[in-house]
Structure 1
């Protein structure tokens, strides 16, 4: 099957093409695989990040992207909106931003003698909060309700945001002037924090080569109805109680390192992962398992997602910061120390899923 838009198809070819696409949308793994392939046509060398973004969409969680400028963070979010067919909104966070610039405000109309409500740019399916750490705390607090409750209250009236609703925020880790640290309560509301790194020389050469020609035309591969349907399918993925216990054990090891065989890390963590950590970890693992074509969650799904789901939930101590110890280094030790469930649970899950 050739999807090249420059090649003409006969009517019977078009009919077969639409039939094949319809069949693909009945298979979550195949449909999501097509969406992932479409993203990779534009974004080079960020395969893990793209997979995590789809997982977050299915799990209904927000994502914080951290990386230096020029790594296509904004392009990634815009391309994702084009592929899934949702409405896209972008807010450039600046120090002079006020909450009304995000959620909206009430405006007095002299001709009618009444207030009208003007809704802000948060009312979209995909919201790009660009350089989110450049806005002061008052603006950050305006995002708390909409991120957690998926609604905005203006003048005593509550307005729900469209579903699905996903906040994808970016921040620059190398520039601290004119930035504000995000409140812990807000950081904890992000399902994942993804670290966007430099591409390899080969990937960067591909990016430069693509820049010499016309930009790839992004085609919509999914619809909002498909996303909601696939999210319900992900909610039916089987999670064994031992897998849940494994996710909880990982979070508990960040809170009580000494009691989990990590005595040398005891002074490195001020506060460990909150209960949102293992909750988000299991929800994301179900979506990842479905994306990988399984009807059950394995320990490998939890292990692969643990750094992305837990790294931003750790509050490191002054000793850790002064010695250059990172949250990823602590989580690597946790993953090495906490034992994974035995394979018999995976076999039991496969039997139950069948």
Structure 2
């Protein structure tokens, strides 16, 4: 496959790797032994996406989200999702001001640079759906009035496995809004031993200082948008997504939104590596995190314990590159 590069597209690409490197180091000073998860979180942020972190309680899901938010010096709001949480508790509400006899909008916690949605699947599907417009259109509509959200805007949601007590499965439309899903997993023996020293007396998050500004993050996002994606790369991305729709073990494949977000994430990954162009390797590395959580296996595949991640890996392994 031939991957072309546009001339004069290199301005600012060195800055992406440099600033992102500082952010990565700051986050890893708190989250030890999880470089893959940290890299993917950075990739999603620069792709203007949202991240879903799924795992059992206590492995650092919320800590990763809060650390990334603090490192970029943006406003951070945390929402603890519970069964009694209402949509207006997220988006905000219009309150009647009696002295002026007018309704005034009081913004909810969704109005922040980074919104940490803790245990998102402990709230009802109705409350979860309050995030749909916010995540896709970067705006909130309350009582017929639309309020734009400042950019950058990122939702980092944590989710407990659906087998655990008191959880609701995320609706398909909600999962499709998340650019990628990762699983933290348990730390290695050495990392857990080091954690006892680092977190024994106080949390390293308490001493973490911002290493980038919101303006810098906006600039990095603009640079990522200029990463060149050759026609053959775009065809390969469409081929990957189309293969999920035609796979016999899947009753729901990935959406066109998934194709777009896969390419955006690939651009961000390329920029983080200091490249001005996307390689097939970028798409292959991101196919699992970006596509798997959007797929629904058939009943037969579930009986055989076939996971979407395995199916995506098989598609990547057998799908030829064009050109």
- Could you say which TM-score interval applies, normalised by the shorter chain? over 0.9
In 1, Cα distance between equivalents of 2:131 and 2:72: 23
Correspondence 1:209-248 to 2 at 5 A: 209-216=197-204, 217-248=207-238
Deviations 1:225-281 (A, max 9, x none): 111111111111111111111111111111113xxxxxxxx1x21011111122111
Counterpart for residue 38 of structure 1: 26
Check the 8 A contact 1:130/1:170 in 2, yes or no: yes
Q: 2:109 aligns with which of 117, 121, 143?
A: 121
Shift of 1:188: 0.5
SS of residue matched to 2:203? coil
- Structure 1 residue 175 displacement after superposition: 4.2
Q: Determine if contact 2:80/2:117 at 8 Å carries over to the other structure.
A: yes
Q: Which of these residues, 306, 319, 323, is aligned with residue 325 of structure 1?
A: 306
Decide which structure has greater helix share.
Answer: 1
Distance 2:141 2:190 in 1: 49
Q: Aligned-residue CA RMSD in angstroms?
A: 1.6
Cα separation, 2, equivalents of 1:156 and 1:70: 40
Following superposition, which runs of at least 4 residues in structure 1 exceed 4 angstroms of deviation?
A: none
Quote the residue 2:250 is aligned against: 269
Question: Once the two structures are superposed, what CA deviation does each residue of 1:77-115 show, in whole Å capped at 9, x if it has no partner?
Answer: 111111101100000011111111111111123332222
Between the aligned partners of 1:89 and 1:61, the Cα distance in structure 2 is 17
Task: Determine the structure 2 residue equivalent to 1:160.
Answer: 148
> Which of 242, 257, 268 is the equivalent residue of 1:287?
268
Give 5+ residue unaligned stretches, structure 1. Answer: 1-23, 258-265, 343-354
Kindly indicate whether the alpha-carbon contact (under 8 Å) linking 2:162 and 2:169 is maintained by their aligned counterparts in 1: no
Q: Deviations over 1:278-315 (max 9, x none)?
A: 21111100011010111111111111111000011111
Question: What per-residue deviation string (whole Å, max 9, x for no partner) do you get for residues 110-137 of structure 1?
Answer: 3322222111110001001111111112
Contact 2:180-2:289 within 8 A present in 1 as well = yes
Structure 2 residue corresponding to 1:145, chosen from 133, 141, 161: 133
| SS state at 1:220 partner | coil
Q: Which runs of 5+ in 2 are unaligned?
A: 1-11
CA-CA distance at 1:179 after TM superposition: 1.6
Pairwise CA distance, 1:317? 1.1
Between the aligned partners of 2:133 and 2:226, the Cα distance in structure 1 is 28
TM-score by length of 1: 0.84
SS of 2:182's equivalent in the other structure is: strand
Residue 97 (structure 1) aligned with residue 78 (structure 2): no
User: How much has 1:177 moved relative to structure 2?
Assistant: 2.5
How many equivalent residue pairs?
A: 310
* 1:269–1:175 CA distance, 2 compared to 1 (3 A): closer
Bigger RCO of structures 1 and 2 (CA < 8 A, at least 6 apart): 2
* Stretch deviating more after TM superposition (211-220 or 323-332): 211-220
